[in-house]
């Protein structure tokens, strides 16, 4: 009887916990962006239309990551699937907005910040763009495999920790480099723990293994941001795509 209860209630509890975790991520994002964005309401003197659209798309996505697991938790799978169709529109829109926000930031920096620093920011923007694109694509490809789909969708939300919490840490006096390094370690710690849990419970660990490797690549890229190799690549990247 106990085994049957575990089989019935554990998935629902898991989806509830996912929603709670995503609410914590949203709180971290709001903390990080309060000083540079939210507190400027309604004038937003330093924001452009591109920034507004980008923020609205990402916040909508994060809210979906709260709503969707709750719908499963409360047994509304049919509504979950209907709302999930928005991912086919929101996902590509976010990918485009990530590209545009990167290009926008680069050109805003030209002439205002040293070229070295401007090329450094490309490391942040490009890894966010490609990581989200990979996780979204894998989530949609695995939409008929709930376990894998769920893990890749969770990972798209984890990507918000760097930009959100990272900015919050900067307001506490940390440098950009230190703040992003810390959030990278947080991301790796979370995904590593989830990966270890899946392996321990003999679940499908491959999704979180892929996610972990993508986060490792992003963390390494950030540590290489000051090298001549990255600076030369970033110049080529900007000339080609920006």
Kindly give the confidence (pLDDT) of every residue in the chain, 242 residues in length, as a single tens digit, with 9 standing for 90 and above.
Answer: 344 333 334 456 888 899 999 999 999 999 999 888 888 887 787 778 888 999 999 999 999 999 999 999 898 989 999 999 999 999 999 999 999 999 999 999 998 999 999 999 999 999 999 999 999 999 999 999 999 999 999 999 999 999 999 999 999 999 999 999 999 999 999 999 999 999 999 999 999 999 999 999 999 999 999 999 999 999 999 999 99
Buried b (16+ CB within 10 A) or exposed e, 45-78: eeeeeebeebbebbeebbebbbebbbbbbeeeee
Query: Token match 């991912």: residue?
Result: 87
Please state whether the predicted TM-score (pTM) of the whole model is above 0.85.
Answer: yes
| Distance from C-alpha of 220 to C-alpha of 157, rounded to nearest angstrom | 20
Residues in the chain: 242
């Amino acid at each position: 009887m106990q085994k049957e209860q575990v089989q019935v209630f554990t998935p629902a509890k898991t989806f509830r916990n996912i929603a709670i975790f995503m609410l914590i991520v949203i709180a971290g994002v709001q903390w990080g962006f309060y000083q540079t964005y939210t507190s400027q309401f309604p004038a937003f003197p330093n924001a452009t239309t591109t920034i507004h659209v980008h923020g609205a798309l990402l916040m909508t996505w994060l809210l979906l990551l709260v709503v969707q697991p709750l719908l499963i938790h409360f047994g509304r799978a049919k509504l979950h699937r209907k709302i999930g169709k928005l991912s086919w529109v929101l996902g590509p829109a976010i990918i485009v907005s990530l590209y545009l926000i990167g290009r926008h930031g680069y050109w805003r920096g030209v002439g205002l910040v040293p070229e070295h620093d401007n090329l450094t920011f490309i490391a942040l923007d490009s890894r966010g763009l490609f990581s989200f694109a990979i996780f979204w694509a894998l989530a949609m490809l695995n939409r008929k495999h709930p376990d894998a789909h769920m893990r890749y969708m969770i990972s798209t939300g984890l990507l918000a920790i760097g930009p959100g919490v990272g900015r919050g840490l900067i307001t506490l006096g940390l440098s950009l480099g230190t703040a992003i390094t810390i959030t990278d370690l947080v991301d790796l710690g979370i995904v590593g723990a989830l990966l270890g849990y899946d392996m321990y419970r003999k679940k499908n660990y491959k999704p979180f293994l892929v996610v972990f490797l993508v986060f490792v690549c992003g963390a390494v890229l950030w540590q290489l941001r000051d090298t001549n190799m990255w600076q030369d690549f970033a110049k080529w990247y900007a000339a080609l795509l920006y």
